[in-house]
Structure 1
């Protein structure tokens, strides 16, 4: 974990730390409100619980939950490009509101929101459905590879005749 001299927490104004979680480098407010900055698409790598061994830094960040009140902190600006961020619900009916930069795609989670996302039944159900679709797709790809290999063998054997 290292101090990132370039980024200040948009919620509590403390210095952000660069942390690595599951091979993904993030900026986190480890000495303040517990918020986490995700560049575009990074959140989707970490928003669901993993089957592997727990990541110690992830566990530390999940335990930080002293978010700056959205009412007292005011509107946030993107730490990367300075654009005012928009607040919206993470997933429909999740009850979890995140801040997103529509210019660069970055997402700010207040302290405790990553844990809430990972434990939310709507998100978990969605993740289970996505995982099943990924498994189904992988099986279809494998079946198609086998079919194409068998066709290639048949064509090759006909040429020898």
Structure 2
């Protein structure tokens, strides 16, 4: 499989018995359906996100992203609890792509994120 953002090859990373695909160049992570929720609940799983958040923020600006599994154009989503996190999801296979640093951020839902979610509307 190739990265939907930079087209480099993806490598399989296993954590807690769950296989995800991580880009060998930009560090983005592909989760098959429901894997991100399962890994979010696992202690220490943020260690799979080894990419540079600066690269992730730059890649987050790429708007047209094909699903690496089925090539369907993915939809940009905003995490309702952490409106600063944008990720892409496939409406066909249910997979999700996080840019480098986004999964670590997704795992670390802080009190500040909660308060910010009460006052900040998601970006469109």
TM-score (norm 2): 0.77
State the distance in 2 between where 1:116 and 1:49 align: 14
> Where does structure 2 lack aligned partners over 5 or more consecutive residues?
115-124
> Where does structure 1 lack aligned partners over 5 or more consecutive residues?
1-6, 126-161
CA deviations on 1:20-74 (whole Å, 9 max, x unpaired) are: 1111011111x21111000111110112451xxx46xx52x33322324233x34
CA deviations on 1:102-122 (whole Å, 9 max, x unpaired) are: 111000000000001011226
State whether structure 2 residue 55 is matched by structure 1 residue 63: no
State the distance in 2 between where 1:111 and 1:93 align: 16
Flag the structure with more relative contact order, 1 or 2, with Cα contacts below 8 A and sequence separation at least 6: 2
Structure 1 residue ranges, 4+ long, deviating more than 4 angstroms after superposition: none
State the distance in 2 between where 1:82 and 1:62 align: 24
Q: What's the RMSD between the two structures over aligned residues?
A: 2.1
**What's 2:31 paired with?**
38
TM-score (norm 1): 0.61
**What's 1:107 paired with?**
96
Question: Looking at CA atoms only, which structure, 1 or 2, has the larger radius of gyration?
Answer: 1
Between the two proteins, the alignment pairs up a number of residues equal to 110
